[in-house]
Chains A and B, each alone.
Chain A
Amino acid sequence: MSIVVNGMPAEVPGDPRVSLLDFLREQLHLHGTKKGCDQGACGACTVLADGERILSCLALAVQYDGRSITTIEGVGSATDLHPLQQAFIDHDGFQCGYCTPGQICSAIGMADEIRRGVPSHVTDDLDAADMPFSHEELRERMSGNLCRCGAHNGIIDAIATTLAPLPERATEAAE
C-alpha cells in the first residue's frame, strides 16, 4: 500500500512518528505545505485527504496508507493556476504568502462542506437545503486558518468570488 499524493503513489514512511506534514515536506520535498505550529492551532499545514481538509501536522503519515492527498502543488502550479489561486492574487489575499497554501486548500475543502450541507456555528437554519456562502459563514468556517499579515478581507473576497455558487457571487458583489 502507499499514499497517493497529487496523483503519484509514495511509499509510507517506516517511522510511525512521522507526521503527514513532515512526510510531505522532508521526504517528498513538497514544500508548499507549511509548518506554523505543529500542533493544530494555525492551519498552515492544511491539505485535502480524499477531498476533505485536514491538518497534516496532526496526522501521522501511516494513518493515510491507501488514501489520496492533495497539496497546494496538486491544486495548481505557478504557470497553471487554479481559479482560487488567481483570485488570491487578484484580491491580494496574502502578503508574506506563508499561510496561503493552507488557506487555499482549506477553502476548497470548506466550500465542499457547505455544498454537502455541513452546518457551522453561525448557520441559522440547520435544515436548509442550501447552506449560504455568506461572508459571515466563510469567515466562521475559515477561522482555523490564521493569517498574521492581516490579509483576511482579501482571502474571504477571493473565496466568495470564486467558490460560491454563481447567484450568490452576484449578491456578494452587489453588497
Chain B
Amino acid sequence: MSIAKDAKGLAQGMAQSLMAKAVALAPDNWVPGGVPDPLIGRQHGHLGRAVSRIDGPLKVSGTARFAADFPMSDMVYAAIVFSTIAKGRIVRLDTVRALAADGVVEVMTYRNAPRLAPPPAFMSDPKAAGGDSLPVMQDDQVHWNGQPVAVVLAQTQEQANHAASLVDVTYESAPAVTAFEDARANARPAMFMGQPLHDEKGKAKAALDASAVRIDATYRTPRHNHNAIELHAVTVTWQDDVLRIHDASQLVSHTAWSLGQMFGIPEDKVIVTSPYVGGGFGGKCMWQHHVLAAAAAQLCGRPVRLVLSREGVYRLVGGRSLTEQQVSLGADADGRLKALIQRGLTAKTPSNVMPEPFILAARSSYAAETIELDVHTVELDLLANTFMRAPGESVGTFALESAMDELAEALNIDPIELRIRNEPEVDPLNGLPFSSRRIVDAWRAGAQAFGWERRSVVPASRREGEWLIGMGCAKGTYPYYRMPGGAARLTLTPKGASVGIAAHEMGMGTATAQVQVTAERLGLPIEAVDFEYGASTLPGPVLAGGSQQTAAIGAAVIAAHRLLIKELLGIIGNDSPLAGLKPDHVACRDSGLCKRDDPERHETYASILARAGQNSIEVVGEGPPPLELMHWSMHSHAAMFCEARVNAITGEPRVSRFLGSFDCGRILNPKTATSQFRGGIIMGLGLALMEESQIDERNGRVMNPSLSAYHVPVHMDVPEIDVIWTDIPDPHTPMGARGIGEIGITGTAAAVANAIYNATGKRVRDLPITLDKLL
C-alpha cells in the first residue's frame, strides 16, 4: 500500500475514533437500536417459526437459475491461459495456432484487450469490489503465478479449452518473494479498515512475567480456499451501452459500480443480477473473471460465458491467508487472567488491503487485567488473499481457545469454569457496555446437553478398542455488524407487500427469513409478502458479508416501514377509524393499521388504498448510520463442545459428536438457522482436520488446485451436529437478532484440538490436525 493511502487510511481511522468517543457518550435513544424494535416483543407471530425455504421447490428440482444457467443466442465460451511464473513479464505471446483452431472466435491478450482502469480494491471505497487493485490484462507484467495472460473465445467450451492449450507464452522472470520465511524480516504493522491491528491495555508483558501461572505457545494455521461447490461463473452481454451480467455474487451493487469505474461508464449502465449463488463464504466478490468476460464480450461483440475451471478458481480467486500466532496467558492461582497477549504474523500481497485480522476475537473475549494484541504482515508475490468465513475469528479463536485450554490444565480448573471466571462486565478494551451477552447461559445449557460432566480430566484415559476418546470445548465469537448505506424499497398493494433490496441469497435463507420479518412487521400473512433481491438495479447496497445482511436489511426495512406508515396516514382521509392519528400512535395488524393502544380501531391497507383511489404505495427507506456499533459492544458467542476419537494405531482423528450452544440474539427461523450454525461448524471441522491450500514456495504456485487434493468434510466426516441457542433477543438490534452465518466456524477448530488433546495427551498447535501429527 502506498504511503498516501496509508495516510488517508490513518486520517479516516482517527476521525472514526473521535466520532466513536462522541457516540459512546450519547444517550441511548439518540442511537439506532436505542428504542427497541417493536418486533422484539412479538412472541407468537411469524418470527421464530421453522418455515421451510421459500425457494426450496426450485432448488430441489434443479430449476433455480445459477450464473452459468442462462443461455444466450450467439454466445461464445471462454477459456483462460494462466501464467506459470510468479513475477516478471511476457516476452513472447503467440496466439497464431490458437486463432487457427476450430471454432475459435478471438483470443484476447494484453495487446488487444479494451483499455481499462484498474479495479477498485475492496475497502478502498464504499462500493469497491475488487479482490486486488492490479490492472487486468493491460500490460506484459506478471504479478502472480496463475495470473490470466490470455482468454480464448470459441463456439463451444471444448474448442475454447483445446485452443487455450495452443497459446504459446514465453516469460522473463523477475525476482519474486514467494516463501513466508524469506519475507519475515520485512514484516510491517497491519492496518485493517483504516485502523491498526494493535491494541494495548496496561503493561501486558510485565503482568505476564509476574503471573503465578503462564502459558506461552505458537499456533499456526495454513491457507484455505472457500471451495463453494458452484464454480465462479458469469454470463455477460453488452446490450446497446449496457453491460448485463448474470453473476454469482455476494455484492451485486459493488460489482456494478466497480465495473463501471473500470470501463468508464456510469454504474447504472452495468446491471448485475445474481438470484442464486452456489455458496459464497467470502469468495464470490469481484475477481478477474468478471472483468475478462466483460472485456472479451466487448472485444468480440458477442455474449460470453466464462466458467472458471476448479483449477481456475484456485489460480484466480483468493482464499484465506496463513497465520502464525503467539499466545501468552498469565493468570493468578484462581485462574483470573492477569495478561492476555496474542500477536503474530500473516501474509498479504502488495495489491490488496486484507491482513487476516486474527486478534479480533481476543478484543472482547476475556476480562484480562492487561491485554496486548498485534498483527504484523509480510507481503508476498502471490494471488491476493481475501475474506473467508469469519476472517480473523475463525483462525484467531483456534489459537486463543487452545491456549485457554492449556491454561485450564495448568491451573487444574475446568475449562468452562475458567472461561466463566474471566467473563468481562464491560468490553475489556473500549469499556463500552455489552448490548447483550449471555454466553454463561450458553455454556451451562451446552455443558448439560453435551454431558460435559462425563469428560475425564486426565488426558488419554478413555479407550474403546483401538480408539482413544476425548472431549473438548472452546468459545466461539463473532461481532454484530451493520454496514452503512443499506436501503430498501417497500411496495404496498391491496394484495400485499413487496420488499426490494440489493441483497443476496447464497444459501443463508435470506429471502425466507426476510419474508417472515416483513410479514410480521406489516401484519400480513407470509404468502402476501414478496422479497426481491440479487440485482444491482434495486436499492442498496447490501453486502452479503460480515454476517450483516439480516441487520442491514432489517434496519432498511424499518426505515421504509416508517415512511410507509406516514404515507398511509397522509392519504387516510377523515372517514377512516384512524383519522387524525400520528405515526407513533399506530401499529400494523391483520393486513392493516390499528391504533396502537386500541387495536379495534383498525382499517385494512386495501380499504385505505381504495378510498384514496390508489393501487399502490412505494417508498424507499435508508437505514441510519450504524452508530450502535460505537455505543455498545455487540458480539455473539458460542460454547462449542466436541467429542473426538483418535485411532491409537493409525493416528486417524474422527469427530464423533459435536454440539454448539449459541447466544446470537433472537433466532428468526430455527430451521434455516440450524443449517447456518451446522454449516459453520462443519467448515470448522474442515479447518481443524483437513483443509490446506498448499503453495510451492519456490515458485508461488498453488499445488493442490482441486477438490481431490484439497479436502473438505464429506458425509462420512460429519456426525450428527446438535445446535441449541439462548434465543434471548438483543434489545439494540433490528428484530433482536444478530448475524449467524459465520459464528459456527469460530471456536470449532479449538474445540476439536482440545478434544484430541483430551483423547491422546497430544497438543497439536499446527492446523490441520492430520494423522501424521498424532502418531
A residues with a Cβ closer than 8 A to B are 15, 17-18, 22, 25-26, 29-42, 44, 71-73, 75-79, 81, 85-86, 88-90, 92, 94-101, 104, 135, 138-140, 142-156
CB neighbours of A97 from chain B (8 A): 55, 58-60, 64, 276, 278, 507
CB neighbours of B69 from chain A (8 A): 25, 31
Given contacts A31-B69, A37-B707, A96-B230, contact A104 B714 (CB under 8 A): no
Contact of A89 among B52, B309, B718 (CB under 8 A): B52
- Give the nearest-CB partner of B671 in chain A: A92
In the assembled complex, B175 has its CB within 8 A of some CB on chain A = no
Given contacts A42-B707, A148-B227, contact A79 B57 (CB under 8 A): yes
Given contacts A78-B57, A95-B507, A151-B679, contact A146 B707 (CB under 8 A): yes
- Give the nearest-CB partner of A85 in chain B: B60
Complex Cα distance, B305 from A26, in Å, reads 11
CB neighbours of A44 from chain B (8 A): 229
Complex Cα distance, B157 from A147, in Å, reads 26
Complex Cα distance, B708 from A33, in Å, reads 20
Complex Cα distance, B71 from A29, in Å, reads 8
Offer 14 A-B interface pairs, CB within 8 angstroms, sorted by A.
A18-B158, A36-B230, A37-B706, A71-B62, A72-B61, A73-B63, A86-B60, A95-B672, A96-B228, A100-B62, A142-B715, A148-B712, A152-B682, A155-B715
From residue B8, how far is it (CB to closest CB) to chain A in Å? 37
From residue B359, how far is it (CB to closest CB) to chain A in Å? 26
From residue B668, how far is it (CB to closest CB) to chain A in Å? 14
Contact of B678 among A73, A98, A138, A150 (CB under 8 A): A150
In the assembled complex, B345 has its CB within 8 A of some CB on chain A = no
In the assembled complex, B716 has its CB within 8 A of some CB on chain A = yes
A92–B71 touching, CB < 8 Å: no
From residue A16, how far is it (CB to closest CB) to chain B in Å? 9
From residue A37, how far is it (CB to closest CB) to chain B in Å? 4
Additional 14 contacts, C-beta under 8 A, given A37-B231, A95-B509, A151-B679: A31-B69, A33-B62, A39-B707, A41-B707, A92-B671, A95-B279, A95-B506, A95-B679, A139-B716, A143-B716, A148-B281, A148-B712, A150-B681, A152-B682
Q: Which of A31, A71, A150 has the most CB of B within 10 A?
A: A150
A148–B279 touching, CB < 8 Å: yes
- Give the nearest-CB partner of B677 in chain A: A150
In the assembled complex, B53 has its CB within 8 A of some CB on chain A = yes
Pairs A-B, 6 closest by C-beta atoms: A32-B62, A97-B59, A95-B507, A150-B679, A98-B278, A96-B507
CB neighbours of A139 from chain B (8 A): 715-716, 718
B residues with a Cβ closer than 8 A to A are 52-53, 55-66, 68-69, 71, 156-158, 162, 226-231, 276-279, 281, 307, 309-310, 506-509, 671-672, 674-676, 678-683, 706-708, 712-718, 720-721, 744
B68–A77 touching, CB < 8 Å: no
Given contacts A148-B281, A153-B718, contact A31 B61 (CB under 8 A): no
Complex Cα distance, B676 from A135, in Å, reads 22
A92–B672 touching, CB < 8 Å: yes
Contact of A36 among B310, B718, B744 (CB under 8 A): B310
B231–A78 touching, CB < 8 Å: no
B715–A143 touching, CB < 8 Å: yes
User: Dominant SS at the A interface?
Assistant: loop
B714–A89 touching, CB < 8 Å: no
CB neighbours of B156 from chain A (8 A): 15, 18, 26
CB neighbours of B60 from chain A (8 A): 72, 76, 78, 81, 85-86, 88-89, 94, 97, 100-101, 104
A140–B715 touching, CB < 8 Å: yes
B53–A36 touching, CB < 8 Å: no
Complex Cα distance, B156 from A25, in Å, reads 12
A78–B58 touching, CB < 8 Å: yes
A37–B64 touching, CB < 8 Å: no
Complex Cα distance, B678 from A155, in Å, reads 12
Contact of A96 among B63, B227, B278, B310 (CB under 8 A): B278
Contact of A140 among B52, B678, B683, B716 (CB under 8 A): B716
A96–B279 touching, CB < 8 Å: yes
Contact of B61 among A85, A143, A153 (CB under 8 A): A85
CB neighbours of A40 from chain B (8 A): 708
From residue A63, how far is it (CB to closest CB) to chain B in Å? 15
CB neighbours of B277 from chain A (8 A): 96
A73–B62 touching, CB < 8 Å: yes
From residue A146, how far is it (CB to closest CB) to chain B in Å? 6
A34–B71 touching, CB < 8 Å: no
CB neighbours of B708 from chain A (8 A): 37, 39-41
Given contacts A37-B706, A41-B706, A140-B715, contact A149 B507 (CB under 8 A): yes
Given contacts A36-B310, A92-B672, contact A76 B158 (CB under 8 A): no
From residue B574, how far is it (CB to closest CB) to chain A in Å? 47
From residue A153, how far is it (CB to closest CB) to chain B in Å? 6
- Give the nearest-CB partner of B723 in chain A: A153
- Give the nearest-CB partner of A31 in chain B: B69
B229–A36 touching, CB < 8 Å: yes
CB neighbours of A42 from chain B (8 A): 229, 707
Q: Which of A32, A97, A99, A149 has the most CB of B within 10 A?
A: A97
Q: Which of B156, B279, B680 has the most CB of A within 10 A?
A: B279
CB neighbours of A149 from chain B (8 A): 279, 507, 675, 679
Contact of A92 among B675, B680, B721 (CB under 8 A): B675
- Give the nearest-CB partner of B50 in chain A: A92
CB neighbours of B506 from chain A (8 A): 95-96
B56–A34 touching, CB < 8 Å: no
A72–B62 touching, CB < 8 Å: yes
CB neighbours of A31 from chain B (8 A): 62, 65-66, 68-69
Contact of A143 among B53, B276, B310, B714 (CB under 8 A): B714
B59–A94 touching, CB < 8 Å: yes
CB neighbours of B279 from chain A (8 A): 95-96, 98, 148-149
B231–A36 touching, CB < 8 Å: yes
A73–B61 touching, CB < 8 Å: yes
Complex Cα distance, B53 from A143, in Å, reads 25
Complex Cα distance, B714 from A95, in Å, reads 16
Given contacts A26-B156, A148-B229, contact A98 B61 (CB under 8 A): no
Complex Cα distance, B68 from A165, in Å, reads 38
B62–A89 touching, CB < 8 Å: no
Q: Which of B307, B509, B678, B716 has the most CB of A within 10 A?
A: B716
CB neighbours of B680 from chain A (8 A): 150
From residue A61, how far is it (CB to closest CB) to chain B in Å? 11
A81–B61 touching, CB < 8 Å: yes
A81–B57 touching, CB < 8 Å: yes
CB neighbours of B228 from chain A (8 A): 96, 98, 148
From residue B225, how far is it (CB to closest CB) to chain A in Å? 10
- Give the nearest-CB partner of A159 in chain B: B715
B309–A38 touching, CB < 8 Å: yes
Complex Cα distance, B52 from A166, in Å, reads 25
Contact of B230 among A22, A98, A138 (CB under 8 A): A98
Complex Cα distance, B52 from A81, in Å, reads 15
From residue B512, how far is it (CB to closest CB) to chain A in Å? 10
Contact of B310 among A32, A39, A147, A156 (CB under 8 A): A39
From residue B240, how far is it (CB to closest CB) to chain A in Å? 26
CB neighbours of B509 from chain A (8 A): 95
CB neighbours of A140 from chain B (8 A): 715-716
From residue A107, how far is it (CB to closest CB) to chain B in Å? 11
Complex Cα distance, B230 from A33, in Å, reads 12
B310–A150 touching, CB < 8 Å: no
CB neighbours of B671 from chain A (8 A): 92
CB neighbours of B713 from chain A (8 A): 150, 152
- Give the nearest-CB partner of B71 in chain A: A29
Complex Cα distance, B307 from A89, in Å, reads 28
Complex Cα distance, B706 from A140, in Å, reads 21
Q: Which of B69, B309, B714 has the most CB of A within 10 A?
A: B714
A78–B61 touching, CB < 8 Å: yes
Complex Cα distance, B278 from A94, in Å, reads 11
Complex Cα distance, B158 from A70, in Å, reads 24
A17–B59 touching, CB < 8 Å: no
B61–A89 touching, CB < 8 Å: no
CB neighbours of A36 from chain B (8 A): 229-231, 310, 707
